[in-house]
């Protein structure tokens, strides 16, 4: 499924017009399709349909819907919240209502008690005020209407995006319209899936307005929603006539005296995702802890520095170990200090596919330009704070621009970025973007990122491309989290317990 940002949607509309459609035709199709969905999913009964209209094309869509419903015999009331200076297409569709029994009102002339009564008495309230172009805070006069609508027992429906909600970021302010259902046009938008905002959208229906799928797929900055079909592309296939050497060798480098669990959880995840051999290059003190849980792992014990971390002096030895491997995982529980920063820079020169996580990223952040020296496929798996260190940008700015910033970083440094959050974004160097919608709050615990890094590294070592390893890893990680939460609850599940649910996930998706 393609998800389009506001700018990508504008591009697609213009491309459709350039290919022979018209903006007027697109609006007519949008309104008629939305009216059909509303009559099927939330059919107005004896109470009026109250349509809140803006002055732009979102309001124009609302006016087409008003005509379609009035022609079916429904009682329709329209309130213009931003005045009557309308866009040309909205003005044209207003004129088409003149012979229909539609009540048309201006919010400026309506007293607060009348406003509240209109909302209270409506059976369906439809929001056609702003749509995808909105950002910032709602104007005070609009807020008064959305607040009244939100208090009503009417079914609330939004066109494209509830007013007050930013289409691309999912951010919203006080009294944003709270929809029971949203009818979006041509393609879903990020806010429909972002976990901070999807509850505000209710059930989302996508109306076909006549824009061809190939146009939507070509829109710059379009995002692919991760699902099982996408994940299957990155899951390495297994053959009956095979041996462990056919499924890759992974070198997992990390751990330190005071952080032993991270590299263990990453190794557990990697082995449970099919890699043939896993060698853990860790401080000597960490080896027994992994061996107690994982007898399948082989080891490259390293004499630790006095601080308990991997010393810079082991760089040449680990480069030789990387020569043995088909993929490298770097950074889980490694710590950040002069030794590990120097070691990380050394290891970036290895010519094997590499997943860099946790303290590996924090070491890279000391001088991010070192990434430009990488010649082999590379996947970075930062959470918001780690990405802030890598980019120098504040977390609120990253959250507000997650797609563009991840895409730009991936392009600039030639890496695949897995920007972890409640909705994780995957960005490939060529500009392709993906986003997941699965997963749950139980995954917001220590170790979840290590598990994800192990999955991705396992797929890399088995020969998957960086973007396929990343997208399959993110989706399967979310599925395992959801399966764990269903049994254990989000409160009681842990990152290491998620690995126990990998068999259920692979049985469903690795076919």
Average pLDDT over residues 467-484: 98
Give the C-alpha separation, 156 to 236, whole Å: 45
By the 10 Å C-beta count (0-12 exposed, 13-18 middle, 19+ buried), 350 is classed as buried
Task: Give per-residue burial for 374-402: e unless 16+ CB within 10 Å, then b.
Answer: bebbbbbbbbeebbbbbbeeeeeebbbeb
Report the percent of the chain where pLDDT is more than 70. Answer: 100
**Predicted pLDDT of residue 511:** 73
* CA nearest to 166, candidates 198, 130, 134: 134
* N-term to C-term CA, the chain: 20
* 43 pLDDT tier (thresholds 50, 70, 90): confident
Statement: residue 377 has pLDDT above 90: yes
pLDDT, one tens digit per residue, over 230-264 is 999 999 999 999 999 999 999 999 999 999 999 99
Mean pLDDT of 447-469: 98
What is the arithmetic mean of pLDDT over 49-59?
Answer: 95
- What is the sign, positive or negative, of the torsion defined by CA atoms of 503, 504, 509, 511? positive
Which of the 8 DSSP states describes residue 73? T
pLDDT higher than threshold 80 for residue 449: yes
pLDDT tens-digit readout, 258-308: 999 999 999 999 999 999 999 999 999 999 999 999 999 999 999 999 999
Predicted confidence (pLDDT) at residue 344 exceeds the cutoff of 90 = yes
Q: Which of 30-44, 182-196, 430-444 has the lowest mean pLDDT?
A: 30-44
Q: Residue 44: pLDDT above 80?
A: no
Give Cβ neighbours of residue 310 (< 8 Å, ≥ 6 apart): 253, 254, 255, 256, 281, 282, 283, 302, 304, 334, 339, 340, 343
DSSP state of 174: T
Residues ≥6 apart with Cβ < 8 Å to 322:
251, 328, 347, 350, 352
Task: Tell me the pLDDT tens digit for each residue of 178-234.
Answer: 999 999 999 999 999 999 999 999 999 999 999 999 999 999 989 999 999 999 999
Encoding tokens for residue 16?
Answer: 């459709």
Report the predicted TM-score, pTM, of the whole model to 2 decimal places.
0.94
Cβ atoms 230, 207 nearer than 8 A: no
Give the model's confidence band at 101: pLDDT under 50 very low, under 70 low, under 90 confident, else very high: very high
Q: Note the pLDDT of residue 220.
A: 93
Please give the pLDDT value at position 133: 86
pLDDT at 441: 97
Question: 42 pLDDT band (50/70/90 cuts)?
Answer: confident
pLDDT tens digit string along 126-180?
A: 999 998 989 889 999 999 999 999 999 999 999 999 999 999 999 999 999 999 9
Give yes or no for residue 397 having a pLDDT over 80: yes
Give the pLDDT mean for 61-71: 96
Q: Would the pLDDT of 401 be above 90?
A: yes
Query: pLDDT band at residue 486, thresholds of 50, 70 and 90?
Result: very high
* Cα 482–chain centre separation: 16
Q: Give the residue-averaged pLDDT of 3-30.
A: 96
């Amino acid at each position: 499924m393609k998800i389009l940002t506001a700018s990508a949607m504008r591009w697609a509309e213009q491309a459709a017009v350039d290919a022979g459609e018209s903006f007027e035709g697109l609006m007519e199709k949008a309104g008629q399709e939305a009216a059909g969905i509303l009559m099927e999913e939330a059919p107005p009964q004896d109470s009026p349909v109250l349509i809140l209209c803006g002055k732009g094309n979102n309001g124009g869509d609302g006016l087409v819907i008003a005509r379609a419903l009035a022609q079916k015999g429904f009682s329709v009331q329209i309130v213009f919240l931003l005045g009557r200076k309308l866009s040309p297409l909205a003005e044209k569709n207003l004129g088409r209502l003149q012979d229909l029994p539609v009540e048309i009102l201006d919010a400026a002339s309506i007293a607060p008690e009348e406003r509240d009564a209109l909302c209270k008495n409506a059976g369906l309230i439809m929001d056609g005020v702003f749509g995808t172009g909105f950002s910032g805070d709602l104007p005070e006069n609009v807020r008064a209407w959305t607040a009244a609508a939100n208090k009503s027992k009417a079914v609330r429906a939004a066109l494209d995006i509830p007013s007050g909600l930013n289409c691309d970021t999912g951010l919203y302010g006080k009294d944003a319209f709270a929809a029971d259902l949203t009818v979006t046009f041509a393609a879903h938008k990020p806010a429909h899936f972002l976990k901070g905002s999807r509850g505000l959208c209710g059930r989302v229906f996508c109306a076909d307005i006549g824009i061809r799928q190939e146009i939507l797929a070509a829109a710059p900055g379009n995002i692919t929603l991760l699902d099982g079909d996408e994940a299957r592309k990155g899951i390495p296939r297994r053959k009956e006539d095979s041996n462990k050497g056919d499924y890759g060798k992974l070198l997992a480098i990390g751990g330190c005296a005071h952080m032993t669990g991270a590299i263990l959880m990453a190794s557990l995840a990697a082995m449970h995702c099919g890699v043939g051999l896993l060698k853990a290059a860790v401080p000597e003190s960490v080896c027994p802890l992994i061996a107690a849980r994982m007898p399948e792992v082989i080891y490259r014990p390293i004499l630790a520095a006095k601080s308990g971390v991997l010393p810079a002096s082991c760089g040449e030895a680990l480069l030789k170990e990387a020569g043995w491997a088909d993929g490298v995982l770097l950074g889980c529980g490694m710590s950040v200090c002069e030794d590990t920063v120097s070691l990380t820079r050394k290891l970036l020169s290895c010519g094997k596919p590499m997943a860099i996580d946790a303290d590996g990223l924090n070491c890279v952040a000391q001088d991010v330009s070192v990434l430009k020296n990488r010649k082999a496929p590379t996947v970075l798996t930062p959470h918001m704070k780690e990405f802030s260190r890598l980019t120098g940008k504040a977390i609120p700015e990253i959250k507000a621009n997650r797609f563009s910033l991840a895409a730009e970083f991936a392009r600039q440094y030639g890496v695949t970025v897995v920007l972890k959050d409640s909705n994780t974004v995957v960005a490939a160097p060529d500009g392709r973007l993906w986003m997941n919608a699965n997963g749950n709050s139980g995954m917001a615990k220590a170790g979840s990122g290590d598990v994800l890094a192990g999955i991705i590294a396992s797929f890399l070592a088995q020969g998957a491309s960086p973007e396929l390893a990343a997208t399959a890893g993110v989706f399967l990680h979310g599925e395992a989290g959801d399966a764990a939460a269903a049994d254990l609850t989000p409160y009681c599940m842990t990152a290491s317990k998620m690995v126990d649910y990998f068999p259920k996930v692979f049985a469903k998706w690795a076919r």
